[in-house]
Structure 1
Amino acid sequence: MLDASTPGSDVPPPALFTGHPAALAPALGALVVGLEHRFYGLSVPAGGLDMGQLRFLSSRQALADMASAHLTLSRLFNVSSSGPWICFIGSYAGSLATWARLKVPRTPVGGPGEGNPHLGVAVSMSVSQIVLHSLEQKCLSTSRAETVAQLRDTDPQVSSMGDRQWLYPTCTEFGFYITCAGPACPFSQLPTLPSQLSLCEQVFGLSISSVSQAVEQTNCYYGGQSPRATHVLFVNGDSDPWHVLSVTQSLGPLESALLIPNASHCLDMAPERASDAPSLRLARQKIFQQLQTWLLQAKESQVKGVSERQALAPSYVATWIMDTSHSTEGSGLL
């Protein structure tokens, strides 16, 4: 069981080690491992966060890191690299799980992607009708000038919350700008789309047109809301603003979707509580059943593969003996 955690913290992802994924591990006989995204926590390069370093901060590099970690961990823990791996990750990192299945299919990683936005947007996403249940991140200064100054600072200590690191891929790959326009908006209408896009230019020198082009390229490369990956379960809560950018309807038998009523961002990954709604309990049960199905299929596939190799072995050996007997007569090989 693998967690390529959502960026922004230098501590192990709590949902993995104390939440629902950890509760599933004993029942599945799983080893739990957490991965830290490059440029966050303790994985910030010694050179800091200047543009020369940030060019290595991308989803494609993150996928390469996941593939490398898979092979390294297999050797470290002496487990088969071809065995089943479950990837339990949420939010942006949930997209990485899907993209790993899409772009690195030989890496046997599959699993639920929680609250994962797949469609990059360089247009406004209104939250006026989708209420956020909590705000956990530390806020930047309310002063525009101070905000820009903080985001320009390349010292990792200043960007310990990951604000500069997160802004960069929104400018170079994703968009993901949230606005709250219209008279029904319950929040501030100050974060307009133009004001957020202008940060890319003020902080990184990237034009607004380049952001739009980057988002278009990302959607084309990964498939947007039709990624065509396999063995992926898209899990979302309908009270999570990000669910409108995710996959909320099944795309086929190997791309299932689960939309949990009245659930907020990645709520199903939290520890189980007596107060959990019946819909949340049912969703977790469905997740567990899906994982059991995939693991059973993987086991049957491995058994079938071994049986086929064993069935082919005698014929292969016999052919080798027959062929070599003509060319090595009297050599004693037989």
Structure 2
Amino acid sequence: MAIWPAQWLGLVLLVSVWGSSAPASLLRRLGEHIQRFQESSSLGLGLSPGTVAIPKQGWLEQPLDPFNASDRRSFLQRYWANDQHWTSQDGPVFLHLGGEGSLGPGSVMRGHPAALAPAWGALVIGLEHRFYGLSVPARGLDMAQLRFLSSRHALADVVSARLALARLFNVSFSSSWICFGGSYAGSLAAWARLKYPHLIFASVASSAPVQAVLDFSEYNQVVSRSLMSVAIGGSAECREAASAAFAEVERRLRAGRATQAALRADLVACGSLNRAEDQAEMLGALQALVGGAVQYDGQTGAPLSVRQLCGLLLGGGSNCSRSTPYRGLRRAVQVVIHSLGQKCLSFSRAETVSQLRVTEPQESGVGDRQWLYQTCTEFGFYVTCEGPRCPFSQLPALPSHLELCEQVFGLSASSIAQAVAQTNSYYGGQTLGATQVLFVNGDIDPWHVLSVTQVLGPSKSALLIPGASHCLDMAPERPADSPSLRQGRQNIFQQLQTWLRLAKDSQVRGGI
């Protein structure tokens, strides 16, 4: 089942302007903003008639429960196709997997893997993840439906989509299918090769956190280290300024109602900061803001780079007053909310819970309810800041994260811990047994510590790019790209060349 709409660009330009600003939500909104900015900017370069083929949007009818043949319910899963470089039916297919958000036409038009397609005459297809974007089952997001949302269900979709798309596009049986993905979708790419090696020839997994973890305290440890990296504009003074800024925020929270009111105005909060739980939400969101500057450092569309953030925190000079870091953090908040198109930031825990309980899908949103459900039932990934190496507020954040799973879904802390352990047991964590997978990471990206950064064997490759942030290798190329990033992309190209040569040799041997 395929649908080809005449107008698609409007979908690219949608930017979420929700008021929710829980820590994880703010990071996800930054990621969505950057993705949409890059897609709209790059696609806009070639929209004059005849200059570039418009990507095709289609829909596949997928079983809601692929593990129960007697269940006849189904949903429509969206995909995008770019066949402008596809030279023959036996050419390779680059399957770009979507993750925890909407997948737009830019996934098959610009950046990686689309930039790699011309060299091999590849067909590029982007597959949106079930329950995200427009690929949401008709009955919505209630608990009865969400039990069909998991990485295992998503991998089953990859299998049925791969078979259906091969028929739809008349792809040769001898064609090599290579999965690409970034972040959670990068994990899916690696797991697709692990679980279905007879259908997926190889995978490129960018910034893929294949190790599930309940307490992700290492996230802020990497943020702290990256804030001191001179190569990206950080310094020891910047790291200390970040600590001083958070200390000043906490001092003002304790100083009384009048000072709290001034703090609320400084940080453009939508409501009061009287409740302890709302104060914790605010501190967590500020940590996410600083973490986002590191996670998305140097990316087109990112509101703040590490260099810019450090410039704000240090006030542009060496003789900084005690209040300079606080004023810099306040300015950083203003920059980010302006970039996201929001008037204020909500730090209300009650509002966060209320929004996460909404079961109607948000077409232009990033799927907060769905992703929270996946973290509660599979991955954890809860960013905390309790150790001495964390430069931010020392708060017992893990109980708050676990309580959110209870408040929204009724899931206990023990069940979440058990789910994380089961995920690692099922996929193998950082020692997964898949071959012909290339793991690509940046060493300033906080998520690289949950990925694979060392070569595990002759057919289990890993690439760690100095100074690169989260999924930066997948972004469109720019003149300002660092030599290490350019070399990293060249290494990806060479690995694909090796794999596809292997596939061709295998076909020749098989035909003799």
Q: 1:152 aligns with which of 343, 357, 371?
A: 357
Deviations 1:218-266 (A, max 9, x none): 1001001000101100000011110000001011111110000110000
8 Å Cα contact 1:71/1:81 also seen in 2: no
**Amino acid aligned to 1:255:** K
Q: 1:7 aligns with which of 100, 104, 116?
A: 100
8 Å Cα contact 1:173/1:214 also seen in 2: yes
**1:269-308 matches, cutoff 5 A:** 269-307=474-512
Deviation of residue 274 (structure 1)?
1.1
> How many residue pairs were aligned?
306
Deviations 1:173-214 (A, max 9, x none): 111111233455345555811111111111100000000001
Structure 1 consecutive aligned stretches of length 4 or more whose deviation exceeds 4 Å: 135-140, 186-191
Task: Give the match for residue 155 of structure 2.
Answer: 63
8 Å Cα contact 2:295/2:446 also seen in 1: no
**1:223-238 matches, cutoff 5 A:** 223-238=428-443
**1:45-84 matches, cutoff 5 A:** 45-84=137-176
Deviations 1:256-285 (A, max 9, x none): 100001100000111111111111011100
Q: In structure 2, do the counterparts of structure 1 residues 212 and 176 end up closer, same or farther at CA, with 3 Å as the change threshold? A: same
Task: Give the match for residue 399 of structure 2.
Answer: 194
Deviation of residue 36 (structure 1)?
0.3
Deviation of residue 305 (structure 1)?
1.0
Aligned-partner Cα distance in 2 for 1:108–1:302? 16
Q: In structure 2, do the counterparts of structure 1 residues 6 and 158 end up closer, same or farther at CA, with 3 Å as the change threshold? A: closer
Task: Give the match for residue 261 of structure 1.
Answer: 466
Aligned-partner Cα distance in 2 for 1:45–1:191? 37
Q: 1:123 aligns with which of 195, 204, 215?
A: 215
Aligned-partner Cα distance in 2 for 1:90–1:141? 29
Aligned-partner Cα distance in 1 for 2:410–2:474? 38
Q: SS at 2:220's partner residue?
A: coil
**1:85-234 matches, cutoff 5 A:** 85-131=177-223, 132-134=294-296, 141-157=346-362, 160-182=365-387, 184-187=389-392, 192-234=397-439
8 Å Cα contact 1:82/1:108 also seen in 2: no
**Amino acid aligned to 2:131:** F
8 Å Cα contact 2:218/2:449 also seen in 1: no
Deviation of residue 82 (structure 1)?
4.2
Task: Give the match for residue 314 of structure 1.
Answer: none
TM-score under structure 1 length normalisation: 0.86
Aligned-partner Cα distance in 2 for 1:105–1:63? 12
8 Å Cα contact 1:122/1:176 also seen in 2: yes
8 Å Cα contact 2:103/2:126 also seen in 1: no
Deviation of residue 81 (structure 1)?
3.8
Structure 1 range deviating more: 245-254 or 185-194: 185-194
Deviations 1:17-67 (A, max 9, x none): 211322211011111110000001110111010001001101111011001
Q: SS at 1:295's partner residue?
A: helix
Aligned-partner Cα distance in 2 for 1:69–1:10? 15
Deviation of residue 133 (structure 1)?
4.2
**Amino acid aligned to 2:349:** R
Q: In percent, how many aligned pairs have the same letter?
A: 68
8 Å Cα contact 1:100/1:109 also seen in 2: no
Aligned-partner Cα distance in 2 for 1:81–1:59? 27
Aligned-partner Cα distance in 1 for 2:353–2:127? 30
Q: SS at 2:481's partner residue?
A: coil
Aligned-partner Cα distance in 1 for 2:370–2:397? 21
Task: Give the match for residue 310 of structure 1.
Answer: none
**1:29-48 matches, cutoff 5 A:** 29-48=121-140
Aligned-partner Cα distance in 2 for 1:190–1:153? 28
Deviation of residue 304 (structure 1)?
0.9
TM-score under structure 2 length normalisation: 0.57
8 Å Cα contact 2:219/2:447 also seen in 1: no
**1:309-324 matches, cutoff 5 A:** none
Structure 2, unaligned stretches of length 5 or more?
1-93, 224-293, 297-301, 304-335
Aligned-partner Cα distance in 2 for 1:57–1:151? 16
Q: In structure 2, do the counterparts of structure 1 residues 10 and 283 end up closer, same or farther at CA, with 3 Å as the change threshold? A: closer
**Amino acid aligned to 2:417:** S
Q: 1:244 aligns with which of 443, 446, 449?
A: 449
Q: In structure 2, do the counterparts of structure 1 residues 10 and 30 end up closer, same or farther at CA, with 3 Å as the change threshold? A: closer
Q: SS at 2:510's partner residue?
A: helix
